Structure 1
């Protein structure tokens, strides 16, 4: 019996023909066009056009080089006139050492041992009895567990393939060269928007640059693809596959590259499609960054907001609680002042410049999809020099209904800046509430929100007090 040595990860076996193979190969080098549309939820649509000479009658065509995370039930072949597609089969039993052992149950393999002193190799035949929780081998005179050396096999069992393949059975009336489109959905590809927002406090203007960060963990490289990105929510019935975690071995290919020009955008149904002008190669286990949009000289406002839920139904016996208000950056997605473009969901990273004109990171926030005409509010961090302290100064239930509570509160805002600021203080009320008395008028902006706009002088402080009655 002749044996072919099993090298690392089946590399040598990749060139061996599978037993009983009869289909016609449609390899990747027959590809004439590759289009990939990537969605934001670990999903992509692949349209793979290949040219092949078809004979008259029925034949099986093996499309190799498809995604390892293909969704089999989504695949179909779009054929030209004169070609009928009869069936489509997904070959996903990949050629791996584990699969090779599993398919060799009850068959004879060769066990290679190396002499420890002179390095000579001997091959001893053995039958594979089991591969459950380890390997069990029957030799001519004994049974052993484990593999003392390495195993060699004389052939690749039928049905194992080095790479995933989709096999289409087609029928034609006459022999001719044809182009066939293999179309399928696959897990393992996704994209998200990432934004760089630079603030200029001197002018009250900002610059916004958007990038599309595309991830490919599908197990397959996609060379020279016409790439498009779909923004919006697309419902999925089947759950997305679990992407593999990057390892130290592949960390180097996680580098990001930027495209020179922004993408072309068009509305399609109720979504937005971004198309890359030039072909893009998406290598497996790669993250690539492409220019999406840009806008300069966009007006913005900065505000400070402190929100709290006061204790209005029980007494609080502790010192005043102090915190720092959130910094809020607001701008309108306006066609006149900018950006004036739909903003896909993503992370906005906020930057500013110091006195030496060096760029400094100020914080980040995830945003949802922002249509044109809506406002964007970011809360990248908290104000260091502004403090807000709250204290419950009184609580009573005397003379009130069983479901009523009354309490008094004091809010003190301190400002350590060299210029005056305005701080919006928000009290999130519980139950049916009524403000009985207050040192400054509030605004009821929602059923549970009482807001005070407090002007605080430079290097000073300001106080607001209120009394509230609440019914449970």
Structure 2
């Protein structure tokens, strides 16, 4: 049976006396544990550039023959780090391991067939007549596929007939899917349950928070999703899936990409000495009308980091279960899910219906300035304790904040949640607002006046930081220090203002 450039029809078995090859098409059970990109900061993971990684653990049943043999694990992650692979269940251990980085494609078939004989099949479009003959592949690079036949040297698909190459076998070293191969030795034939564990690049995860602030701004309904993302070419259906939060000490490793070269075809022009070459490589004869310039290409589509159709939302019925892993936090999805190739998936992470918060408008002015005006920045503060409605580790992630309104919640801002341990202070920066402002004005001598205005229909808590030189002393106002900052705390009435005056004493 023959193999065309696009379809494998048969694989020839290894000749007698050669090393035996055993292929495992896929795992029976698989587990995927995803670790975050430690350097991402507040950026969302972009699907086309994921810098996290995953620990893949597979279980496969394999018939191992007696003597030395090659075990081929097909369907591993294309981003596998070969040196991290651990194979268990092989009675006498491994002799060597290799990652097959060249995938089966039209280009790789031609590349591996250089200098070898193949079958050239041609079909007359008018009559349907099929003619086959032998050809030798002489070139298969960017210049196109060059063949030598009994009629001479020619380029593939330049005769005007429909033609293709037919191969009688798969060239050695080509795999239809990402493959890890290992060489083993066994004293006797046996069926073994082999475990394969390895690290793979091209994975990441993100916590995405959605919060709704009550009308009195004292409680927060906090929900979070665990978003898994993969740029790998391999899907892992029915995987036991976990995500790990925290800093893991790991050195970066360069991984060569899996190669799958395309087939480039190029015909030779029927050129003469009177042919005029064009910058784009085309030509026309002198005396002829030059061809019209080609139409400009259409504009490229806009780049979208996250497309909604790429996200699979599993549903709120599945919520990740948190477990402690030393100094790390592990979030285990309680049901098997599919970690799809080049896709994302969301499952529930946490749900806290009533988190007690304090809404504070923060501002800062330089105390020695004569005139200044700043708008407030809305913060939501709480403490990560059970009595506040929390009391669990919070992984970092972006937060979208809504506020209860008439009939439906309304978006009021976006913030960020940092990694927060139990007992730590929670502070979420929401947005700047022009409705709460502070104005600094100067009086006689070193006297200054601060006025905070509030145009909202409810009273607000304001926090004004006075920036000053270390040698300055501020008298005449009731201030406090917190975290090394000099602060004025004030309750500003609805549609009202609050005022203080102070004097600067310079040393």
Q: TM-score, normalised by structure 2?
A: 0.76
Give the aligned partner of residue 281 of structure 2: none
Contact conserved, 2:67 with 2:186, CA < 8 A, in 1?
A: yes
1:71 deviation in Å?
0.7
Taking a change above 3 Å as real, the CA distance of residues 135 and 72 of structure 1, as seen in their structure-2 partners, is same
Structure 1 match to 2:375: 324
From 29, 35, 40, the counterpart of 1:39: 35
Q: Is 1:294 the counterpart of 2:293 in the alignment?
A: no
* Cα displacement (A) at 1:189: 2.0
Could you say which residue in structure 1 is the equivalent of 2:454? 415
Give the direction of change, closer, same or farther, for the CA distance of 1:351–1:62 in structure 2 (3 Å limit). Answer: same
Cα–Cα, structure 1 residues 383 and 203, in superposed 2: closer, same or farther, change >3 Å? closer
After TM superposition, the structure 1 = structure 2 runs for residues 377-388 of structure 1, keeping only pairs within 5 Å, are 377-388=427-438
In the alignment, which of 469, 472, 496 is matched to residue 434 of structure 1? 472
Distance 1:243-1:378 versus aligned 2 partners, 3 A rule:
farther
Write the mapping of 1:15-414 to structure 2, written as runs, cut at 5 A: 16-17=11-12, 22-28=20-26, 31-41=27-37, 42-79=52-89, 82-108=91-117, 125=135, 127-129=137-139, 131=141, 133-135=142-144, 137=146, 139=148, 148=158, 151-154=164-167, 155-202=169-216, 204-239=218-253, 252-308=309-365, 310=366, 322-356=373-407, 358-390=408-440, 411-414=450-453
Q: Deviations along 1:287-321, whole A, 9 cap, x unmatched?
A: 1111122222221111110135x496xx99xxx65
Distance 1:417 1:15, change over 3 A: farther
1:425 alignment partner in structure 2: 464
Matches of 2:311 and 2:154, distance apart in 1 = 44
Q: In 2 relative to 1, CA 147–235 (structure 1 residues): closer, same or farther, beyond 3 Å?
A: farther
CA separation in 1, counterparts of 2:224 and 2:193?
38
Q: Which stretch shifts more, 212-221 or 236-245?
A: 236-245
Higher RCO, Cα 8 Å, sep 6+: 2
Distance 2:107 2:448 in 1: 70
Deviation per CA, 1:417-452: give whole Å up to 9, x if none: 2233332112344x53413555x23334455x4322
Q: How far does residue 211 in structure 1 lie from its aligned partner after superposition?
A: 1.8
RMSD between aligned alpha carbons?
3.7
Give the number of equivalent residue pairs. 441
- In 1, the alpha carbon distance for the partners of 2:163 and 2:452 equals 75
Deviations 1:26-74 (A, max 9, x none): 121xx33212211112211111011122233222211111111111110
Distance 1:173 1:363, change over 3 A: same
* Residues 1:77 and 1:259: Cα distance change in structure 2 (over 3 Å): farther
C-alpha separation in 1, matches of 2:9 and 2:308 = 26
Note closer, same or farther for the CA distance 1:153–1:321 as it changes in structure 2 (3 Å cut). Answer: farther
When the two structures are superposed, what TM-score results if normalisation uses the length of structure 1?
Answer: 0.81
Matches of 1:240 and 1:204 in 2, distance apart?
49
Specify every segment of 5 or more residues in structure 1 that has no aligned partner in the other structure, as ranges.
396-406
- CA shift, 1:344, in A, is 1.2
Report the Cα distance in structure 2 between the residues aligned to 1:271 and 1:175, rounded to whole angstroms.
Answer: 43
**Could you tell me whether the CA contact under 8 Å between 2:147 and 2:156 is conserved in 1?**
no
Tell me: CA distance 1:234–1:120, structure 2 relative to 1, closer, same or farther (3 Å): farther
Shift of 1:275: 1.6
